[in-house]
């Protein structure tokens, strides 16, 4: 909770745009003083000198032109108020201007959370919780918001202060297994569908989407642009990209499409190398060597399909009938999310925490235990 500069902060907590009701929040030492100036209760009873937490008032906010609002006191030490006006964009803008004119400092909702939350780790987790779109990252972030990482950090720094490098290293090693999640709790994993022409990548894209996201044709080179699809698999956010089939061609548009596909592959966390079971096996290009690749043998519903034609480690599917799709989805998540944190497991859920962990390990390895607590100064409770 940032009270160092005695600012009174103002933020809109509901998303911008038209709505029936909006929520504004006012926090800081002058919050009630400001409200006193610009709020008129509907009843003849005046506002109290100090509102009790949980108290609610109905009245008009604004001098001259204003709006009927519901005012509530969430806390009075420090003062935290919520204002619920009509949700029209012009109404909200007008009220924000009123409150700023009286001395409130407007900030975005992320900064408002930082200013109003005493524990920086809780603030970081809460910001990410508001951005999480699927269930599994939400569970992990809730664990961290409820103190999982704080408990880990307190124990770790306890070993550091005791000079116990062995246990400190063990704790770093344990939590380090989950550091790969630090940038993947609100951003989707990127999975690129690549392979020769007519392997069925677009058909696979469509069955993953549940509708016709990509144009399907027997004409080689139909896919030109990179088409993205964001979805969820087993509670994890995943973005799939359908790319142009790879082949030698003199068509400049098709070559441009293949280049776009190659660029998309550079961003990929996983490449699905899709091939037709009725065609000769083609190995993935050398340019994919630094990527995690999962082989997918498509069209196993054809009469010509033979089980031993599926390369070892690949998954056999039919993008037309859906055969093998569930197994493919489970395999994709197994490739992307491993190991999976157990409930209550501390996770370095933010890139800043991952960086602090990596630097802590380096310092412990070098015997610089006295320097480790400095890495965590900014995450102390206020």
The token duo for 322 is 């859906």
Per-residue model confidence (pLDDT) at position 22 = 95
Question: Of 33, 25, 32, nearest to 9 (Cα)?
Answer: 25
Task: Please list, residue by residue across 1-31, b when 16 or more beta carbons sit within 10 angstroms of its beta carbon and e when fewer do.
Answer: bbeeeebbbbbbeeeeeeeeebbbbbbbebb
- Give 78-136 as a 3 state SS string: CEEEEEECECCHHHHHHHHHHHHHCCCEECCHHHHHHHHCCCHHHHHHHHHHCCCCCHH
Q: Which CATH number fits domain 189-336: 2.60.40.10, 3.40.50.300, 3.30.950.10, 3.40.50.970?
A: 3.40.50.300
**Any idea which fold 9-116 has?**
Gyrase A; domain 2 (3.30.1360)
> Helix 31-38 vs helix 89-101: angle between axes, to the nearest 10 degrees?
110
CA distances from 90 to 12, 52, 68 (A): 13, 31, 14
CB contact set of 337 (below 8 Å; sequence gap of 6+): 136, 181, 236
Same fold, 9-116 and 189-336: no
Q: Per residue in 155-185, pLDDT tens?
A: 999 999 999 999 999 999 999 999 999 989 9
Q: How many Å apart are CA 231 and CA 244, to the nearest integer? A: 21
Above 60 in pLDDT, residue 309? yes
The secondary structure of 213-252 as a DSSP string is -S---SSTT---S-EEEEEEETTEEEEEEE-PPB-----H
Average pLDDT, the chain: 88
Q: How many Å apart are CA 243 and CA 261, to the nearest integer? A: 5
Q: Per residue in 26-80, pLDDT tens?
A: 999 999 999 999 999 999 899 999 999 999 999 999 877 789 999 999 999 999 9
Above 80 in pLDDT, residue 256? no
Q: What's the chain's Rg over C-alpha atoms?
A: 28
Place of tokens 């809780």: 122
Instruction: State pTM to two decimals.
Output: 0.82
Return the domain boundaries, the chain: 9-116, 120-178+343-379, 189-336
CA distances from 186 to 163, 236, 265, 333 (A): 36, 10, 20, 16
Judge residue 51's burial from the number of C-beta atoms within 10 Å of its C-beta, 0-12 exposed, 13-18 middle, 19 or more buried: buried
**Which residues make beta-bridge pairs with 56?**
72
**Lowest mean pLDDT segment, chosen from 45-54, 115-124, 204-213, 372-381:** 204-213
DSSP designation for 14: S
The token duo for 377 is 């100064």
Place of tokens 């930082």: 114
Q: How many Å apart are CA 119 and CA 97, to the nearest integer? A: 30
């Amino acid at each position: 909770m940032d009270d160092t500069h005695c600012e009174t902060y103002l933020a809109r907590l509901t998303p911008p745009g038209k709505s029936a009701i909006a929520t504004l929040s006012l926090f800081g030492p002058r919050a009630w003083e400001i409200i006193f100036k610009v709020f008129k209760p509907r009843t003849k009873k005046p506002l109290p000198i100090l509102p009790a937490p949980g108290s609610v008032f109905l009245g008009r906010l604004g001098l001259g032109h204003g709006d009927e609002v519901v005012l509530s006191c969430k806390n009075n030490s420090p003062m935290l108020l919520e204002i619920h006006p009509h949700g029209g964009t012009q109404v909200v803008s007008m009220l924000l201007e009123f409150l700023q004119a009286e001395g409130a400092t407007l900030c975005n909702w992320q900064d408002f959370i930082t200013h109003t939350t005493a524990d920086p780790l809780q603030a970081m987790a809460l910001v990410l919780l508001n951005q999480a779109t699927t269930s599994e990252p939400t569970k992990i972030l809730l664990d961290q918001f409820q103190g999982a990482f704080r408990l880990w950090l307190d124990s770790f720094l306890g070993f550091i202060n005791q000079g116990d490098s062995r246990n400190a290293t063990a704790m770093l090693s344990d939590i380090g297994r989950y550091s790969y999640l630090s940038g993947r709790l609100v951003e989707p994993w990127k999975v690129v569908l690549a392979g020769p022409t007519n392997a069925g990548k677009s058909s696979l894209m469509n069955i993953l989407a549940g509708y016709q996201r990509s144009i399907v044709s027997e004409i080689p080179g139909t896919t030109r642009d990179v088409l993205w699809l964001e979805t969820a698999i087993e509670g994890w956010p995943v973005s799939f990209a359908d790319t142009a089939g790879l082949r030698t061609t003199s068509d400049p548009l098709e070559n441009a499409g293949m280049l776009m596909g190659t660029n998309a592959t550079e961003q990929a966390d996983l490449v699905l190398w899709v091939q037709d079971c009725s065609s000769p096996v083609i190995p993935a290009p050398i340019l994919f060597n630094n990527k995690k690749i999962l082989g997918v043998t498509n069209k196993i519903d054809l009469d010509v399909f033979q089980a031993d034609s599926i390369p070892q480690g690949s998954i056999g599917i039919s993008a037309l009938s859906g055969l093998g799709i569930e197994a493919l989805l489970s395999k994709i998540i197994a490739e992307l999310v491993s190991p999976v944190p157990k409930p209550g497991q501390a996770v370095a859920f933010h890139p800043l925490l991952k960086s602090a962990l990596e630097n802590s390990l380096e310092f412990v390895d070098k015997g610089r235990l006295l320097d480790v607590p400095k890495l965590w100064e900014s995450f102390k409770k206020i």
